[in-house]
Amino acid sequence: ENCCVFFADGTYLEPLAVGDDLETDRAIGEGNVFVARDRLYRQNLGDEGFSAVVLGTGDADADHVRYVGAGMSAGELLSFSRGFTDASGKSDLASFKLAFCASKDADDAFLFACERINAPKIDRTALQAHANGVTGIVEV
């Protein structure tokens, strides 16, 4: 399960939770590196904290090749799509491709590059306005 907390500068936080253990097992069995690494993080460090940091990319395939060549690949590329609905009810389909990176000895947090294949043209203004005035992530 996920939720996105969007900021005006284009960054966001994506809190994750395990909603269905059987679905999680299925995804891991099918080779979903994202779900597998999140589970590994939770097993080793608990349910609180950052299991991953994601960086935007224009070419996840090239990133994956570089990660493999450097001995830093954390697994196969992952492509997926999901629906998105804005505050006004407008819906679209968002599609992504992820390339994973971690040291061979890492059994917790990891990095991945995310290529937006289809970025919905949805107004996020209401989602980016926060009562505390935050507009982005400065440091991790």
Distance CA 27, CA 15 (A): 18
Work out the average pLDDT over 72-91.
86
* Residue 138 placed within a domain: no
Encode pLDDT of 22-62 as tens digits. 999 999 999 999 999 999 999 999 988 888 989 999 999 99
Encode pLDDT of 114-138 as tens digits. 999 988 777 788 889 999 999 999 8
Write out 29-83 in H/E/C secondary structure. HCCCHHHHHHHHHHHHHCCCCCCEEEEEECCHHHHHHHHHHCCCECCCCEEEEEE
Q: Determine what percent of the chain is predicted with pLDDT higher than 70.
A: 100
Which CA distances in Å does 77 have to 18, 37, 102, 138?
A: 22, 13, 13, 28
pLDDT at 17: 92
DSSP three-state, residue 22: helix
* Residue 136 placed within a domain: no
* Residue 14 placed within a domain: yes
Query: What is the residue range of 36's domain?
Result: 5-128
How many CB atoms are located within 10 Å of the residue 31 CB? 11
* Residue 109 placed within a domain: yes
**Is residue 10's pLDDT more than 80?**
yes
pLDDT at 65: 98
* Residue 133 placed within a domain: no
Work out the average pLDDT over 77-98.
87
**Is residue 108's pLDDT more than 80?**
no
Number of domains in the chain: 1
* Residue 123 placed within a domain: yes
Structure tokens of 83?
A: 């629906």
**Any residues with CB less than 8 A from the CB of 20 and at least 6 apart, and which?**
none
* Residue 53 placed within a domain: yes
pLDDT at 3: 87
